[in-house]
Amino acid sequence: MSPSAKSENREIPFWLLAAILGATIVFWFLVADEGYQTIFTALSRGLTTTLYVTIVAFTLSVLLATVVVLARISPSRVLREVATFYIEIVRGIPMLVLLFYIAFVGAPWFVDAFNWAMAPLIEAGLFGKMTVRGFDFTWRAIIALTISYSAFIAEIFRAGIQAVDRGQVEAAKALGLSSWHTFRFIVAPQAFRLILPPMGNELIAMIKDSALVSVLGVQDITQLGKVYSASTFKFFETYNVVAFLYLVMTISLTLVVRWLERHMGRSLGQSGRAKH
C-alpha cells in the first residue's frame, strides 16, 4: 500500500463524526423526551414496511436486471434491441410517474389479463376471480421499484462485464475453458469488484425512493410520519425522527459498502503479490 493510501486510511472521517454527533443528539431526545419516544414508537411500525419493500424490490431488480443484461450483450440483435428499448424507456420515466402508472394502469391491466387467462379455471371454481382492490398496494409499489431500478442495474452489470479485459476472455477460451467457466472464474469476480460501489449506491437510493410508496398509502416510515404530524401538528419533532431513521439505514449501508470495497481491494492486492 502506498504512503498516500495509508495516510488516507488514517484520516479522521469528520463527516462520520458529525453524523454520529447528530444521531447521538436525536437518540438522546428519543431516550429522554417522552414526546420523541411516542413519535418513535408510532413510526417504528413503518420501519418493517420500508425494509420489506426495499429488500424485496432490490432482490427482484437484480434478478430482472440479470435477464435484461444477458439479452443486452446477447449475440442476437433482436434480443439486444429489445433489452436496449426496455432500458432506455424505463430510465426515461420519473420514478413517481412510473409508480402511479403501475399502481393505477398496470395493476388493472394485470387483473384483467389474469382473469382472462384463468377464465376456464375460474368458471370451474378452482380459482377465485381477481379484483383490482385485491391487488395489494405494497406489491404495486414493489413492482414499480423493481421495473425502474432493474434498468439502471442492468447497465451497471453491462458496464462491469464489458470492463473486463477482452484478452483475458480470449486467453481462457484458448486454454479450453467453456463460456460458463470463463464467466464464472474470469469475468464475474472482476466485474463484481467493479459493480459493488454503484450497486451499493443503487440500494441506498432505493431505500430513499421507497419513501415514494407513501403516496399510495403504504404504511412506511414516511406515511406514518405524515399521518402522525398531521394529527398532532408536531412536524418538527416527527420529521426529525423520520430523517433519523433513514439516515441510520443509509449511513450504515454506506459504511458496509466501503468496508467491503477496502476488504476486496486488500484481497486483490494480496493475491497479486502472491502471484509475483
C-alpha cell at 56: 424485496
CB 71 within 8 A of CB 150: no
User: What is the reported pLDDT for 267?
Assistant: 52
Rounded Cα–Cα distance for residues 130 and 133 (Å): 9
102 occurs within a structural domain: yes
Q: 53 with 209: CB under 8 angstroms?
A: no
Distance CA 38, CA 34 (A): 6
Q: What total number of domains does the chain contain?
A: 1
State the virtual CA torsion across 57, 63, 67, 68 in degrees, nearest 10. Answer: 30
Q: Give me the tens of pLDDT residue by residue for the chain, a chain 276 residues long.
A: 455 445 455 566 777 777 777 777 777 777 777 778 888 888 888 999 999 999 999 999 999 999 999 999 888 999 999 999 999 999 999 999 999 999 999 999 998 888 888 888 778 777 778 888 888 899 999 999 999 999 999 999 998 888 877 777 777 777 777 777 777 777 777 788 888 888 989 999 999 999 999 999 899 999 999 999 999 998 988 998 898 899 889 988 888 888 887 776 655 444 444 444
6 located within any domain: no
Which sign, positive or negative, has the C-alpha torsion 191, 195, 196, 197?
positive
User: Does a structural domain hold residue 1?
Assistant: no
Which residue range is the domain that position 179 belongs to?
A: 12-268
Give CB contacts under 8 A, 24+ apart, made by 13-21.
Answer: 16/251, 16/255, 19/247, 19/251
> Does residue 126 sit in helix, strand or coil?
coil
Quote the pLDDT of residue 64: 96
> What pLDDT is attached to residue 133?
84
Q: Specify the CATH number for the domain of residue 121.
A: 1.10.3720.10
Residue 276 belongs to some domain of the structure: no
Within a domain: residue 215?
yes
Output the pLDDT for position 57.
96
Residue closest to 194 by CA, chosen among 149, 165, 163, 168: 163
The pLDDT value recorded for residue 12 is 61
At residue 45, the pLDDT reads: 87
Per DSSP, the three-state class of 133 is: coil
